[in-house]
Amino acid sequence: MIRNDAPELLEVRSLAARIGERNILKGINLRVRAGEVHAIMGPNGSGKSTFAKVLAGHPSYEVIGGEVLFKGRNLLELAPEERARAGVFLGFQYPIEVPGVSNASFLRLTYNTVQGARGKDELDPLEFDDFVREKMKLLEMDPAFLERSLNAGFSGGEKKRNEILQMALLEPKLAILDETDSGLDIDALRVVANGVNKLHTADNGIVLVTHYQRLLNYIEPDYVHVMEGGRIIKTGDKSLALELESRGYEWVAREAA
């Protein structure tokens, strides 16, 4: 929802970043206020996933220009773990598998770490078990997932549900979901999208990075941005996504040129 008086969560100004010698982000501007849902779309290689990773602090990318303010703070000077504790969440396109570490103990470790950093109460294993089971209902997840190793052998859809479960636990102010819809069948997509919608409030902002319009049938964006060549070249409302779906990306690039 767009509210003109909503506090600003994220302000990105002329952000430029590279990996090795290759410049990928070439001047991104974006402003996200509380309550808003932004979709970032674009063809493969346009830099949208890089943008998501840079916001979360991936060490492989070097920021070479511009600035990023998160609730007025310089986000770029924070380590990834500090960003997470401050309220930035990145839902991964490819969550990693950690055999031998149960999902339950990982989830509790991360929950308690973030709670502690925010000066809030930590939960013991029994309390946490009740708490996490409630959250799992949001995502129609079988509690058996708690006993399995973190993401190990999970299907694509199961991994994405587990990502959103972590979002539910960590209660971010800004959630960046990188290709959360990729590899999901329609049923799984609906479940994951419903979960995100339930977690969305007037106090938090969501940035959806996606290649496909279909996710936006379930999570309605306030803004749709098109990325190309490391820049946002067009911004519109949700009707832009539908237009992209029917006409492809090329016309936007031509128009912007």
Could you list the residues that contact other proteins (CB under 8 A)?
56-60, 79-81, 83-85, 89-90, 92, 95-96, 98-101, 105-106, 108-110, 112-114, 117, 122, 124-125, 149, 166, 170
- Shortest approach of other proteins to residue 150 CB, angstroms? 8
Residue number with CB closer to other proteins (72 or 100): 100
Which helix (H) or strand (E) element contains residue 39? Answer: strand 37-41
Residue number with CB closer to other proteins (196 or 224): 196
- From residue 253, alpha-carbon distances to 37, 42, 87 in Å are 23, 10, 34
The torsion region of residue 140 among left (phi > 0), alpha (psi -120 to 50) and beta comes to left
- Shortest approach of other proteins to residue 208 CB, angstroms? 17
- Shortest approach of other proteins to residue 62 CB, angstroms? 13
Q: Return all residues near 244 (Cβ < 8 A) that are at least 6 apart.
A: 41, 213, 224, 226, 252
Residue number with CB closer to other proteins (143 or 153): 153
Residue number with CB closer to other proteins (179 or 222): 179
Residue number with CB closer to other proteins (44 or 60): 60
- Shortest approach of other proteins to residue 246 CB, angstroms? 35
- Shortest approach of other proteins to residue 136 CB, angstroms? 17
Q: Per residue in 127-149, is it b (16+ CB within 10 Å) or e — as a string?
A: ebeeebeebbebbebeeebbebb
How many helices and strands (H and E) does the chain possess? 9, 12
> What is the C-alpha separation between 198 and 115, in angstroms, rounded?
21
- Shortest approach of other proteins to residue 103 CB, angstroms? 12
Q: Where are the extended beta strands (E) located within 108-172?
A: 149-150
Residue number with CB closer to other proteins (100 or 119): 100
